[in-house]
Amino acid sequence: MVELVLDEKGRTQLLVGNADAWSVVAEAAIGRRTLRPYPESNSLIRHRVILLPGEPLEYGSEAELADVIKTYIHRYVSLSADFEEIAAAYVMLSWVYDAFNELPYLRIRGDYGSGKTRFLHIVGSICRTPIFSSGASTVSPIFYALDAFRGTLILDEADFRMSDERADLVKILNNGNARGFPVLRQEVTPQKEFSPRAFSVFGPKLVATRGIYADRALESRFLTELAGAGPLRADIPLNLPEAHADEAREMRSKLLLYRLRTLDRHRIDESLHDARIEPRLNQVMGPLLAVAPTEEARTAIREAARAMQSDIASDRGLDRAADLLGVIKALEATKSSGNIPLRIIAAEYSRLHLGDSDRPVSARTVGMMLRKDLLLRPRKSHGIYVLPDSERPRLLRLYDKYGVSGTSEDLSDVRVEPIAPSQSNATADDEPPRTIDF
C-alpha cells in the first residue's frame, strides 16, 4: 500500500508497505512511476479541509478499537447508544471501504442548534481522509477533491435549496455509494476544446440535513440519527478543547494501522443479511455488518435498517401502499376466483383505512395506486378491472418488502364473487387520470 501521511513536523510523506513492515518516504518508485505526496502547502491540507493520519499506531483488537472510537464520540457528541455503535462501525468502514462495491451513508438530521455540525466534526475527523464541505460550497472542487484523495465526504447543510447545487451534489450522492459509476463532467482544455472527464465519487459520506430527500432511492442509502431528541448531556463541552485535534490525529493513526492489517480480508458475509429487510437495504448494509467487530454493533445496525425501512415508507407516503397490500393479502384468503375486482379492493380499503368523513376511494384511484406505487398491472376481465392472479409472484415479493401481514379475520365479512359485466362500470379506468387526496 501507499498512503499519504503527515509527519510530526507537519510535512506530507508517503507510507509504503503493509502491516508487517512499512517505511515513510518523500517519494516512492512504483514500477515506472514515481509517486510524490501532495505538498503540505496544498490549500486543502493547510486549511484542514482534508485531515491526514500520522505514522501507524498500535490499537489492540478490533473490539478494543471500536470501544476507543465510541468513547471518543461519546465524550463530545450526544447520540443514542445504538447510533454510537453504528457510528463507530462506520468510521472503521471508511478506512477499508475500497474492499467493497456498495456503501451506505451516515446522516444526522435536525434543526439548527441540535448538534449536527458537532457530529460531523467529531465523527468526520477520524474517518479516512475526511473532506469537509457544505451544501453552500462550490461543487467543482468537491468533484476534484473526491477524485484525487478518494476520502470521506463530510457534507454539512446538505438540503440543497438551490436547483443548480442540488443537481450536482445529488449526482455525487446518487453515484457515490456504488463502485463503477463516476460522474462525467465537461472540461475546457488550454486549446479551448471541450473534453469530457470522469470523476470518481465512490466512497463513504457523512451528511447533515434538516429534512429528508424526495428521492426514495437516495433516502434508502442513509442510516439516520435525529439530533436534539433529548437535552444536552452536562458532561459534553460546549467548545472543543485544543487537545481535540491531537486526539483525533492519534485515532487516525490507529485506524491507518487497522487499514493496513485488515483491508485484504474484508468481504461481504451473506449470512449476516437480515431476511426482514428488502434486498436493497441488505446490499448497502452488508459492508457495515462485515466490519462491525461485535454482535452488539451488528444488532444495532440491523435494528437501524429495519427502522429505516419503516421510516422511508412513512415519510414518503408508502404506508398507504402497505395498507393497500394488506387489504389485497386479506382478500386473497377470502376470494372465490383468481382475480380480485378493483372495486372490492377500493371498498375495503375505504372501510378499513378511511374515516366516515373521508370520501371513499374509487376503483380508478386504486388502479392508479397499483400502477404507480407498486408497479402492478391491473387489467380488464369480463368488462371490469381486476388485479389478475398472474400478478401473485410480484405480490409475494411486495408482501415481504413492506412487511405486510394481512389476515382473513380483517375482512371476515367480505365475499368476493364473480361480477357480471352489467354490474360494473367498464369505462372507469378509461377516463383521464387525476390526483385525488384521501
Same domain flag for 181 and 194: yes
**pLDDT score recorded for residue 313:** 55
**pLDDT score recorded for residue 433:** 41
Residues linked to residue 380 through DSSP beta bridges, in sequence order = 385
Rounded to whole angstroms, how far apart are CA atoms 185 and 59? 41
Residue pointed to by grid coordinates 451488528 = 298
Residues linked to residue 253 through DSSP beta bridges, in sequence order = none
Same domain flag for 244 and 142: yes
Is the predicted pLDDT of residue 361 greater than 80, yes or no? yes
Domain stops at, among 315, 342, 372? 315
Same domain flag for 308 and 345: no
pLDDT digits (tens, 9 = 90+) for 88-138: 999 999 999 999 999 999 999 988 888 899 999 999 999 999 999 875 567
**DSSP class of residue 50?**
B
Same domain flag for 306 and 391: no
Interval 156-173 mean pLDDT? 72
Residue pointed to by grid coordinates 513492515 = 21
Residue 437 maps to a domain: no
C-beta atoms surrounding 194 within 10 Å: 8
Same domain flag for 63 and 12: no
Rounded to 5°, angle at Cα 13 from 9 and 14: 150
Q: Are strands 205-209 and 105-109 parallel, antiparallel or unpaired?
A: parallel
pLDDT digits (tens, 9 = 90+) for 350-360: 888 886 657 88
| Domain membership of residue 362 as a residue range | 319-423
Confidence of residue 428 (pLDDT cuts 50, 70, 90): very low
Residue 57 maps to a domain: yes
Residues linked to residue 13 through DSSP beta bridges, in sequence order = 5
Asked whether the beta carbons of 14 and 4 are under 8 A apart, the reply is: yes
SS3 sequence of 65-90: HHHHHHHHHHHHCCCCHHHHHHHHHH
Same domain flag for 69 and 201: yes
Q: Helix or strand or coil: residue 190?
A: coil
Same domain flag for 332 and 270: no
Which range is least confidently modeled, 59-68, 254-263, 295-304? 295-304
Asked whether the beta carbons of 327 and 406 are under 8 A apart, the reply is: yes
Domain stops at, among 298, 315, 332? 315
Residue 339 maps to a domain: yes
Rounded to whole angstroms, how far apart are CA atoms 404 and 316? 17
Domain stops at, among 315, 343, 359? 315
Q: Are strands 130-134 and 152-156 parallel, antiparallel or unpaired?
A: parallel
pLDDT digits (tens, 9 = 90+) for 16-45: 999 899 999 999 998 899 999 999 999 999
Q: For the chain, what is the mean pLDDT?
A: 84
Confidence of residue 50 (pLDDT cuts 50, 70, 90): very high
Is the predicted pLDDT of residue 303 greater than 70, yes or no? yes
Residue 434 maps to a domain: no
Residue 430 maps to a domain: no
Same domain flag for 131 and 192: yes
Same domain flag for 34 and 77: no
Number of domains into which the chain is organized:
3
Residue 433 maps to a domain: no
Is the predicted pLDDT of residue 175 greater than 50, yes or no? yes
Residue 311 maps to a domain: yes
Same domain flag for 230 and 117: yes
What pTM, to 2 d.p., does this model score?
A: 0.75
Same domain flag for 8 and 129: no
Residue 436 maps to a domain: no
Rounded to whole angstroms, how far apart are CA atoms 173 and 161? 16
Residues linked to residue 226 through DSSP beta bridges, in sequence order = 109
Rounded to whole angstroms, how far apart are CA atoms 389 and 401? 19
Q: Helix or strand or coil: residue 179?
A: coil
Same domain flag for 118 and 162: yes
